[in-house]
Structure 1
Amino acid sequence: MQRNPSGGAGATGAAFADGKPMSIGAVLNVLRDEFPEVTISKIRFLEAEGLVEPQRTPSGYRKFTPADVQRLAGVLRLQRDHYLPLKVIREYLDAMERGEQVPLPAPAAPPARELVDGLEAWPDPAAEGATAARVGRAELLAAAEVEESDLADWEAYGLIAPVADGAYDVEAVTVAKLVAELGRFGLEPRHLRAIKASAEREAGLVEQIVAPLRRHRNPQTRAHAEATARELATLSVRLHAALLQAALRVR
């Protein structure tokens, strides 16, 4: 596993002047220059999925060579830029490692909509071919990199819930990732119920404003309702962030 798959070293290229193996913490610092959202858990997950094989010291600590870090960066680029699943990435890298001349797999559709101003956007129902995205339970667990027991706990506290057919709205992936990240700081599901309740109250306020527009016979008016809902939700997220920052400064 020694080949960079994605055209150059990127921001990681200047980090290997001495060529010495690196700890997982040092690798994290290098990768974050280009991938700010990467975590130690993510690196361990990629190792578990066979995307990288770091050396181990007699005490069990991971040691990553420069080639390992370049490979990790390549994996992250393929995920970020091409939305490729890990199985496809692994097969592509392994083929390159064997010296095979294989084309880069075609980009897939993004698994989740991009965040805009801190709010995950949803498709315009008036747009041609717009559909509600769904993921299965196994897909949710893999995308959020969590265990079955974690998801069951979150469901028990009402933080995540499947829809009627047992699948999950794609927003559940974002929720699961954020709940997992907060959990690493010691915040348990019971602590997050207040945030969920606040979000539901805000959604109720938005619904009061846009509900009359959504019931209108004119398609343009209904489309305006969805645009209004998006704008109100974005403003609500910004207000929440500003109020939280102000409260932390006071303390």
Structure 2
Amino acid sequence: MAGTAASTHASGQAPLLGIGQVLARLQPEFPELTPSKLRFLEEQRLVSPARTASGYRKFSNADVERITVVLSMQRDQYLPLKVIRTHLEAIDAGETPALPGATSAAAFLAGARRLRRDELIAQAGATASLLDDAVSASLLPAADLYGDEALATLRALVALRSVGIEPRHLRGMRAAAEREAALIEHAIAPSRRSDAAGKARAAERGLELAGHLDAVHASVLRSAFSRLAR
């Protein structure tokens, strides 16, 4: 592994990144990413960074994209890491597996989007003021780079603005989300150990519970609208 890290740099390829550099690149989109989380992903065989002679982890650009795939599918599709790992292993073996109810990892591997502010606005068909309003309402983060989730959110806000629903009308959604996050935090507290692996497993379980809450929220909203539309 140490030889791999040295030869990659010497051969003129992109230099390998330390943990701090990986965090700096990915935390704007994944603020919960920590060194412990990166180590846990390695323990779960989802990424295999090189090692220096001193034992420090070094990540290639391909490693960073793979981490992005894992975190995106975990966050956006609420998939357990073991499901993501099995899916990625199949892709690594040259297969094209289907992943029911979720975007294929192959689509992410083909090139996860990293959009600058102006690119995000253009692709969403939005305006700078709408993005600013979304950030002000805590619906989107203030960041230098945005991913697919931010793009989907801003596109949805464009559609809502067209019928007079503004980001300021949705401020309560952030407060509701924080309350739901607190419920999940309380639910996983008994199984949350102090070691890094225990914290990462608890976070994964939390994302699964968030998926269940999302399904309940969608059902309740549809039910409420159906009553109003009668």
TM-score (structure 1 length as normaliser) = 0.43
TM-score (structure 2 length as normaliser) = 0.46
